[in-house]
Structure 1
Amino acid sequence: MATPVVATSGSWEQVAARKRDALMSSIPQEWRIPADLLPPETQDDVTPWPDTSGWFTAGELAITGLTASELVAKLALGEFKSEDVTKAFCKRAAAAHQLTNCLSETCFDRAIATARARDEHLARTGKPVGPLHGLPISLKDHFNIKGLDTTLGFSSHAGDAAESDSTLAELLESAGAVFYVKTNVPTAMMMAETVNNVFGRTLNPRHRQTTSGGSSGGESALITMRGSPLGVGSDIGGSLRIPAACTGLFTLRPSTGRFPVRHTRSGMPGQEAVQSVNGPMARSLTDIEFYSKCVTGERPWLRDPRCIPLPWRPVELPTKLKIAVMWHDGMVQPTPPVKRALRITVDKLRDAGHEIVEWDPVDQKEGIVLLVQMLLADGGTAIRKELERAGEPFRPELLDYQTATELGTYEMWRLQSERTVFQNRYLDRWNNAGIDAILCPTIPFNTVKNGSFKHVAYTGVFNLLDYSCLSFATGFTVDKNIDRLDSAYEALGGVCRAINEEYDADMMDGLPISLQLAARRLEEEKVLAMGKIVLGALSSNP
């Protein structure tokens, strides 16, 4: 079940085709869905398929139905064998890929060998290897895993296998984790949808005509299909929060320095004006907190010089939170379902005794303009050079990078000075308001039709600020009967008008709605604790 080596000669199309074939060949025959059991391509929602197809055993469904926290508890006690759990997730991940095109690499042989070693260790010592003992964890493609490619959607990286694991992978494996798959990303990880010229488009399993988001969209699709109990992605402009919101998952965007980034591959190496961070994605907030405690508990600052020596800290929240609500960002009004979910959440928090104030979005436009300028500062050269290595063309989604003009050093220094002024002003506004968090949309819609994603400002500004952010599933779903565009709606601009006029209530009906909670820099513990309070308020009776 080892991934076949990909020959790198020939045109980029030939290299990409061989890479796709190699990926499919790495899935053993027993994990390939029989043709007569495949759902039709016209079936939009494939999330019920594993339970209804009859292809999975009752044991496999029981295992893959549990959360990461539940699995770890059973694995540590020996109630489940890691080998059985790993094989169940390998099979379900293989199925998820065949239905949504969510994977980029597999290492099933390594996974099963690691799982057996975990079981043997527990049987011999009576103790688990670590807090993640025997737990399968999926990784976004940019994490290096020895012997596997890290293509980032570039055909030029096909066949260029990593010689060692990334630091985070080493940390997680030493804590007991088992690696079995890596997941698809957009070219260079610089799009809000997951599509590239090598593997193609990853689909949202809840509705395959809609996007799973990006750039961690392979992770969101896999986890939504329960092909992974917990996955790790990255975020430079919303790349964790956007796919989590598109599929109704939970994720944490940590501040720079909290989790290790050493020995990961970047789509734009050397770009550090806005730094990429990595974080967990899962089906529950409990799993997000569990993972975060595990990673910080392994003292990542001893492995990565960029990490801050900051252990996980207990949080004491005030009995009454002061939360600022940002109804819109001054550029794009959220679509009707997101607006409804935000309004209900605010009402529930007020009913629970928390103070709600308005947050003026006056700074948001400047923030996203600065972010975009920084990401385009090299004139798209890093991406262009990687594409040119194989003669691969720019995808249309990367037009801004294709047409950007490179900034000089002085201009870049000026830009970074403006960023610092912006960060200072935002923090001063926050402190003067005396707020604990900002509650706002994660994206201005729940998800969108494939190929039509617009506007990353709701997430991207917080990357510029380096704030700790949680995207959470509200528990609400789109209702086509009530989530209709108000006749009194007034567009804030052309993009706002396009997003709201393209909103299709019938297509979105029944899909989950997410929101975002932002805290200040390095307040990961606080934003998760506040997330629990918000979820508690949402679960209260009317």
Structure 2
Amino acid sequence: MAISKTNGTPVSWKQLGEKKRQDLLSSIPKEWLIPADLLPSESQDDVTTWPESSGWFTQEELDITSLTAAELVPRLASGQLKSEDVTKAFCKRAAAAHQLTNCLAETCFDRALTTARERDAYFARTGKPVGPLHGLPISLKDNFNLQGLDATVGFASHVGYPAKSDSALAALLEDAGAVFYVKTNVPTAMMIAETVNNVFGRTMNPRNRQTTSGGSSGGESALIVMKGSPLGVGSDIGGSLRIPAACTGIFTLRPSAGRFPVRNCRSGMPGQEAVASVNGPLASTLHDIELYSKSVVDGKPWLRDPKCLPIPWRTVELPTKLRIAVMWHDSMVKPTAPVARALRETARKLEAAGHELIDWDPVDQKQGNDLLARMFVADGGIAIKKELERTGEPWRPEMEAYTVAKELGTYEMWQMHLERTEFQNRYLDRWNKAGIDALLCPTIPFNTVKNGKFQHVGYTGVYNVLDYSAISFATGFSVDKNVDKTDPSYEPLGPICKAINEEFDAETMHGLPISLQLVAGRLEEEKVIAIGKRVLEVLA
């Protein structure tokens, strides 16, 4: 049980959560609280059009927040737009997004406006931008430390212990000109594929609030879809960037370890290094993903974080004819009808455009998925259990695997590391033998699912074990209830495959976006983005 800092009395997880939620709401200025008569009804599933239809925003605020990061940066860098005006618009829209989807964990509006005014003053004085992200508001997932703000990562035990300093990535981004204004919600310990915890509750998908925005970077994905952020940063240990991007139809990059700095970020399982946690951008366009990635690498992150590799951003020249492997399913779960259709159509269009496509045998996927699952619970769930016990916080039902896990000894852990290395070696040999530029596959087996129904991170998690570069991209296809029906010849690959495909509800999912995943080799961030752009050209 946590002890109060003021009077020494025990404080329960419920009290800490209630206070934290109230403090978050109180941090939103009164003028940014939506009047009750303007709030959409709880039964309104899609709230993405509310900002435009509500009449609550000025036209200038709507114009500013409709711009992408790549559109904002040149306007800010030339003085055409003031950072203070842009920042205010995104602060207000983020506040609205939170009231409609429960996507935030922290706000720092005062810090944001102070930083924005400094950016404007610098430009007025010198006629130059501060850096490549001059004056651009950027949202951060809750695990990125910002001085003076909590980083609860969904634990009640972390409430009331503000960070003493900024994370290395935040410092680098601020030096590049970025403005921080909000941090976004995550699941408990960032180890659930939906964004739900006992402190803040559940973040909903703005495109349909009955469905999940994914996890663990689901606060970011919801905020970006609501245009409450032009560019956000999340993290990924088993799909935590790609899953929320796919659930909401936006773009992300899962980089290999060593490209972007992780120093002074909070982990849900500190010391777990069997599979590396990495961070990366989420945005509404692939162009924005590239802008962010180049800006971070150009900031020489290896001078700030010893885990970063001194690899500058590289120009990639792709062959005219790409050789792409297609993984139609991962041998564990067949994708649902809309994802299977998007995969077929994308492959067909790539082939029609002259690219060479081959089938990828999913023979190794199950072992990779099993390795990931065993790595996650190798400590017997002790790291998470200790945090929960500090306040009496109960386990989330989604985390059952951690409650029954058995702690591995050092020898057993070393044996698992050997198995991981052998798996990585075998996959690399197969990749090289196939001579492929990239792998095309689902990001998740569905477009999204109803809240509380997420199963199976196999399509993303295997590439965390391999540490390959990957993007999740919106295909431009959306679910069509008249077309996307389960194939009569469908045979499940197992109980989870059966459950996922039987639960697919075309009526609920109708009109929602469908995403796919592109995977390149390790440390091939530039290449996977370049191939992604080529694929999008073909789809367009």
| Residue 10 (structure 1) shift | 1.8
| Residue 497 (structure 1) shift | 0.3
Q: Secondary structure at the match of 1:517?
A: strand
Asked if structure 2 preserves the Cα contact closer than 8 Å seen for 1:379 and 1:407, the reply is yes
Aligned equivalents of 2:58, 2:538: Cα separation in 1 = 37
| Residue 248 (structure 1) shift | 0.3
| Deviation per residue, 1:138-177 (Å, 9 max, x gap) | 0000000000000001000000000100000000000000
**2:478 matched to which residue of 1?**
477
Q: Secondary structure at the match of 1:313?
A: coil
Aligned equivalents of 1:241, 1:211: Cα separation in 2 = 13
**1:220 matched to which residue of 2?**
221
Aligned equivalents of 1:73, 1:28: Cα separation in 2 = 30
**1:56 matched to which residue of 2?**
57
- Report 1:345-364 matches (<5 A): 345-364=346-365
Counterpart residue identity of residue 228, structure 1: S
Asked if structure 2 preserves the Cα contact closer than 8 Å seen for 1:330 and 1:361, the reply is yes
| Residue 488 (structure 1) shift | 1.2
| Deviation per residue, 1:51-96 (Å, 9 max, x gap) | 0000000000000000001001100010110000000000000000
**2:369 matched to which residue of 1?**
368
Identity, in percent, stands at 74
Q: Secondary structure at the match of 2:517?
A: strand
Asked if structure 2 preserves the Cα contact closer than 8 Å seen for 1:15 and 1:155, the reply is yes
**1:32 matched to which residue of 2?**
33
- Report 1:491-510 matches (<5 A): 491-510=492-511
2:335 aligned with 1:337:
no
| Deviation per residue, 1:270-311 (Å, 9 max, x gap) | 000101000000000000000000000000000000000000
- TM normalised by structure 1 equals 0.98
Q: Secondary structure at the match of 1:44?
A: coil
Aligned equivalents of 2:171, 2:13: Cα separation in 1 = 32
- Report 1:164-175 matches (<5 A): 164-175=165-176
**1:454 matched to which residue of 2?**
455
**1:259 matched to which residue of 2?**
260
| Residue 431 (structure 1) shift | 0.1
Q: Secondary structure at the match of 1:390?
A: coil
| Residue 188 (structure 1) shift | 0.1
Asked if structure 2 preserves the Cα contact closer than 8 Å seen for 1:9 and 1:15, the reply is no
Q: Secondary structure at the match of 1:114?
A: helix
Q: Secondary structure at the match of 1:185?
A: coil
**1:41 matched to which residue of 2?**
42
User: Which runs of 5 or more residues in structure 1 are unaligned?
Assistant: none
C-alpha change, 1:36 and 1:6, in structure 2 (3 Å) is: farther
Asked if structure 2 preserves the Cα contact closer than 8 Å seen for 1:6 and 1:15, the reply is no
**1:522 matched to which residue of 2?**
523
**1:236 matched to which residue of 2?**
237
| Residue 131 (structure 1) shift | 0.4
Counterpart residue identity of residue 358, structure 1: D
Asked if structure 2 preserves the Cα contact closer than 8 Å seen for 1:380 and 1:401, the reply is yes
Aligned equivalents of 1:300, 1:23: Cα separation in 2 = 32
Q: Secondary structure at the match of 2:426?
A: helix
Q: Secondary structure at the match of 1:420?
A: helix
Aligned residues: 535
| Residue 486 (structure 1) shift | 1.4
Aligned equivalents of 1:10, 1:464: Cα separation in 2 = 39
**1:210 matched to which residue of 2?**
211
- Report 1:107-126 matches (<5 A): 107-126=108-127
**2:322 matched to which residue of 1?**
321
| Residue 348 (structure 1) shift | 0.4
Counterpart residue identity of residue 260, structure 1: P
Aligned equivalents of 1:141, 1:476: Cα separation in 2 = 31
| Residue 446 (structure 1) shift | 0.2
2:132 aligned with 1:131:
yes
| Deviation per residue, 1:442-488 (Å, 9 max, x gap) | 00000000000000000000000000001000001000000011111
Asked if structure 2 preserves the Cα contact closer than 8 Å seen for 1:247 and 1:512, the reply is yes
| Residue 6 (structure 1) shift | 11
Counterpart residue identity of residue 237, structure 1: G
Aligned equivalents of 2:11, 2:261: Cα separation in 1 = 37
C-alpha change, 1:46 and 1:6, in structure 2 (3 Å) is: farther
| Deviation per residue, 1:71-125 (Å, 9 max, x gap) | 0110001011000000000000000000000000000000000000000000000
Q: Secondary structure at the match of 1:361?
A: coil
**1:99 matched to which residue of 2?**
100
Aligned equivalents of 1:486, 1:530: Cα separation in 2 = 31
- Report 1:417-456 matches (<5 A): 417-456=418-457
Q: Secondary structure at the match of 2:526?
A: helix
| Deviation per residue, 1:231-280 (Å, 9 max, x gap) | 00000000000000000000000000000000000000000010100000
Counterpart residue identity of residue 396, structure 2: R
Asked if structure 2 preserves the Cα contact closer than 8 Å seen for 1:6 and 1:22, the reply is no
Could you list the structure 1 runs, at least 4 aligned residues long, displaced by more than 6 angstroms after superposition: 5-8
| Residue 9 (structure 1) shift | 5.0
Aligned equivalents of 2:309, 2:6: Cα separation in 1 = 39
Q: Secondary structure at the match of 1:424?
A: helix
**2:76 matched to which residue of 1?**
75
Aligned equivalents of 2:461, 2:113: Cα separation in 1 = 39
